[in-house]
Structure 1
Amino acid sequence: MKKITLLIATILAIIILNDNRVYAETSSKPPTLHSESAFLMEANTGEILYEKNGTEPMYPASVTKIATAIFAIETGNLEDIVTISSEASAKNVEGTTVFLDEGEQVTLEKLVQGLLINSGNDAGVAIAEHLSGSMEQFSEDINAYLENVIGTEQTNFKNPHGLFDDKHVTTAEDLAKITLHAMQNDKFMDIFGKKELEWDGKTWDTTIRNHHKLVKEEIPYIGITGGKNGFVSKSGFTLVTTAERDDLHLVAVTLKTSLDSEAYEDTISLLDYGFENFTVSSIEEGTEFTVEGQEYVAPETLSFLHSVEEQPKEIIEEDGLVKIVDGNETITAFQLEKYSDGGELEARNTAVESHETSIFDNIFVYFLIAFILGIFILVNVAIRKRNKRRYARNNRYFL
């Protein structure tokens, strides 16, 4: 019995020690946050640097407008003239507005500017009506767009502005995905990063100013490229922020704090953590390699994230696969194109495949552990029963 126990314990130890999950070593610990949910992503690579309850459904408040803005930019015509309805006029919309007046004519682009910069809820209603005809249809249209185009998994938006609805929910991870997608659009980023804009409206001539304190530099921070804030009582304070330094582009999402100052404190902590501990290296487009007489070329700039403490190496295999290796660990891999065949091979980042394989391997490991434990329990039960029978047989004359 002791030999069996020792054998099983040895097998379990070997399996656990060979579990190949790897976590990036950094020079500082991940931050401790006030926010109930948070997410930090690197935009070039899509790598997740930090998350806290990242997949928990949350009320987003006005950071909803990031989704409305990119939806309008990508599916609408920004030069369209929108006539403001009674429902979209400022007098009939709650919260912050850009004082749109019934019958006023405004370009779709101006409405997106008023939506993102001044957080105009009336602009959101006008955009929804123009794109979809009604708020109800807009909800269906934007949710389909977010799921099918961007790949959100737990987002359900009931309106374009984020005013409270108990069914209007998303997650920090989905918001990071939405923002990452929007960042690829120059028009969006131009508006998303504006500190202020002259507004010449029918009833309101003013300078509208971004409400995000890092964007308007009320709180100084080097590298901020854009942001949107939000608040309703049931969502608490919410923030989405983008920043870049050198080749590192970060998306930080914080959801639900009780104080405005805590949301900014958390955001700065996330950005500091990202900039201080990670960096992006690249193989430039057109870089040539020769392996065993075969020439290969990088078809595009191939970027990969790693800890600032790592010095990863490039290993080129015979089939043109570039492995980025830190010690014995492969960080990511890219497929080069054969230089001589006109690029028949398509470049593909195999990091996702490696991650999926890693997940599968881990599931297999856990199944194997459970299987071995099951055998151990069955053997133990059988031995106990056998010993009881022997005891009963040896002592039957004394009963």
Structure 2
Amino acid sequence: MKLTSIKTSILCIVVILIQLIQGPQTIEAANETLSLYSETAILMDAETGEILFHQEMNQKMYPASITKIVTAMVAIEEGNLDDTVTVSEEAVNVIGTRVYLLEDEQVSLLKLVQGLLINSGNDAGTAIAEHMSGSEELFSRKMNRFIEEKIGVQDTNFTNPHGLYDEEHTTTAYDMAKITQYAMQNETFREIVGTKEMEWVGEGWETVIYNHNRLLWHYDGATGVKNGFVRKSGYTLVTTAKRNGMELIAVTLNAPSSDHAYNDMITLFDYGFEHFQTNVLFSNKIFTSELGDRFELEEDVYFLSNRNEEISVDVNALGRLWVRGEGDRIIKTTLLTPEDKPDEKVNRKRLEETETQPSFIYQVLSQLRSILSI
């Protein structure tokens, strides 16, 4: 066996051992204390899922109408938006915010989703549920399966499609951020929640409906999503905003008033855009390791850093790319593909060590390279 192959094999074993010892680590954001009115909150980077700020993010809370984010996604992804829905008496009689549907009125599923998200129509939510599953109860089970299987959240339980109070109808700020991260990748959903106003022509109501999320008008870069309120939940709000290529997701639950919820949202966004930035390494870029081997980046790699932080990128002998910030802090690591062996795919799951402590790993690998080069 050639000396280079021996070196590579030893380095591979060391990396795996390091992973088993260390386990995954989390990139820590600048932990600045923010004064919020809401009981729980989270700020997340939409691209990477990195958490930039959180306050009791795993505490179970009542979501109110932000429930409709999931109702809409189930309709969009598992329904046919061209379907014609016949509105029932039960849907017409749902209390709360409505789009004033009439019994036996026929409406497209797409229009119901628009009325649900833009005007927060509870009647639209019930009509969607009954059309897709026969009842609110059965549709709620579909909602819960959807978020568990497609998004992977574990601490949310929905019992209805609109968010009216039920003791068992709960979520967390973290779960709602993950749900929103998923939902905003769907272009139909994204377009609807970003719609400021829409002409509504129905049998019982002809008007212009306006998006209930005030930040679409009053915060630069706001792109969605949904607000909510019932007495037991307080004021709830989920919003996304994008500036300079970075999109953030903010969730606040149980604010004492609507104004307090929006003020908290602005506080979170201002903090995120001021302190952080999203960076990208584009696919097909070639990197050369310290041993002179060439490796290719197959997919775009996004990573978060502190704003104006000095970033360095290097590749070790195994083709593992390391993105480091100031103080040798590891921001991102991923495995590259050898340029001259495109068919040899290294098992990424086996070798993937995410966000490990730089001082230990980097010194071990550096010392090992020095020893093997003797």
Structure 1 residues 342-366: Cα deviation after superposition (integer angstroms, max 9, x where no partner)? 35427969998435x77xx9xxxxx
Distance (Å, rounded) in 1 between the aligned partners of 2:103 and 2:251: 35
Structure 1 residues 101-123: Cα deviation after superposition (integer angstroms, max 9, x where no partner)? 11111111111000000000000
Counting aligned pairs with the same residue, the percent is 49
Residues 96 and 350 of structure 1: CA distance in aligned 2, closer, same or farther (over 3 Å): farther
Equivalent residue, structure 2, for 1:214: 215
The residue identity in structure 2 corresponding to 1:239 is L
Equivalent residue, structure 2, for 1:199: 200
Please say which of residues 197-206 and 113-122 is displaced more in the overlay.
197-206
How many residue pairs align between the two structures?
A: 332
Residues 195 and 347 of structure 1: CA distance in aligned 2, closer, same or farther (over 3 Å): farther
Residues 344 and 187 of structure 1: CA distance in aligned 2, closer, same or farther (over 3 Å): farther
Residues 352 and 25 of structure 1: CA distance in aligned 2, closer, same or farther (over 3 Å): farther
Equivalent residue, structure 1, for 2:345: 345
- Of 265, 268, 274, which residue of structure 2 is paired with 1:267? 265
Distance (Å, rounded) in 1 between the aligned partners of 2:170 and 2:273: 30
Deviation at 1:43, TM superposition (A): 0.7
Residues 73 and 349 of structure 1: CA distance in aligned 2, closer, same or farther (over 3 Å): farther
Structure 1 residues 49-101: Cα deviation after superposition (integer angstroms, max 9, x where no partner)? 01101000000100111111111111111111111111112xx1100111111
The answer to whether residue 323 in structure 2 is matched with residue 324 in structure 1 is yes
Structure 1 residues 159-217: Cα deviation after superposition (integer angstroms, max 9, x where no partner)? 000001111000000000000000110000000110011111112111111011111x1
Distance (Å, rounded) in 1 between the aligned partners of 2:213 and 2:340: 51
1:85–1:103 Cα contact (<8 Å) kept = yes
The answer to whether residue 48 in structure 2 is matched with residue 45 in structure 1 is yes
Q: Alignment partner of 2:354: what SS?
A: helix
1:117–1:210 Cα contact (<8 Å) kept = yes
Task: Provide the TM-score with structure 1 as the length reference.
Answer: 0.79
Distance (Å, rounded) in 2 between the aligned partners of 1:268 and 1:352: 36
Equivalent residue, structure 2, for 1:129: 130
Residues 73 and 352 of structure 1: CA distance in aligned 2, closer, same or farther (over 3 Å): farther
1:332–1:351 Cα contact (<8 Å) kept = no
Equivalent residue, structure 1, for 2:71: 68
Equivalent residue, structure 2, for 1:371: none
The answer to whether residue 293 in structure 2 is matched with residue 294 in structure 1 is yes
Specify every segment of 5 or more residues in structure 1 that has no aligned partner in the other structure, as ranges. Answer: 1-19, 362-399
The answer to whether residue 235 in structure 2 is matched with residue 232 in structure 1 is no
Q: Alignment partner of 1:253: what SS?
A: strand
Distance (Å, rounded) in 1 between the aligned partners of 2:49 and 2:142: 26
Structure 1 residues 109-157: Cα deviation after superposition (integer angstroms, max 9, x where no partner)? 1110000000000000011111111111111111011111111111000
Residues 345 and 229 of structure 1: CA distance in aligned 2, closer, same or farther (over 3 Å): same
Q: Alignment partner of 1:71: what SS?
A: helix
2:151–2:182 Cα contact (<8 Å) kept = yes
Residues 310 and 348 of structure 1: CA distance in aligned 2, closer, same or farther (over 3 Å): farther
Distance (Å, rounded) in 2 between the aligned partners of 1:299 and 1:40: 29
Please say which of residues 198-207 and 178-187 is displaced more in the overlay.
198-207
Equivalent residue, structure 2, for 1:308: 307
Structure 1 residues 207-243: Cα deviation after superposition (integer angstroms, max 9, x where no partner)? 111011111x1xx221101121101111011100000
Deviation at 1:260, TM superposition (A): 1.1
Residues 111 and 152 of structure 1: CA distance in aligned 2, closer, same or farther (over 3 Å): same
Deviation at 1:294, TM superposition (A): 3.1
Equivalent residue, structure 2, for 1:120: 121
Q: Alignment partner of 1:87: what SS?
A: helix
Distance (Å, rounded) in 2 between the aligned partners of 1:271 and 1:239: 13
Distance (Å, rounded) in 1 between the aligned partners of 2:78 and 2:167: 27
Deviating above 4 A after TM superposition, structure 1's stretches of 4 or more consecutive aligned residues are: 346-353
Please say which of residues 268-277 and 301-310 is displaced more in the overlay.
301-310
Task: Provide the TM-score with structure 2 as the length reference.
Answer: 0.84
Distance (Å, rounded) in 2 between the aligned partners of 1:52 and 1:302: 28
Specify every segment of 5 or more residues in structure 2 that has no aligned partner in the other structure, as ranges. Answer: 1-24, 361-374
The residue identity in structure 1 corresponding to 2:247 is H
Residues 346 and 214 of structure 1: CA distance in aligned 2, closer, same or farther (over 3 Å): farther
Distance (Å, rounded) in 2 between the aligned partners of 1:21 and 1:139: 34
Distance (Å, rounded) in 1 between the aligned partners of 2:324 and 2:76: 40
Structure 1 residues 5-34: Cα deviation after superposition (integer angstroms, max 9, x where no partner)? xxxxxxxxxxxxxxx9873347xx342101
Q: Alignment partner of 1:354: what SS?
A: coil
- Of 29, 47, 56, which residue of structure 2 is paired with 1:24? 29
The answer to whether residue 359 in structure 2 is matched with residue 354 in structure 1 is no
Q: Alignment partner of 1:244: what SS?
A: strand
Q: How does 1:153-168 map to 2 (within 5 A)?
A: 153-168=154-169
Distance (Å, rounded) in 2 between the aligned partners of 1:84 and 1:103: 5
- Of 254, 257, 265, which residue of structure 2 is paired with 1:256? 254
- Of 278, 281, 285, which residue of structure 2 is paired with 1:280? 278
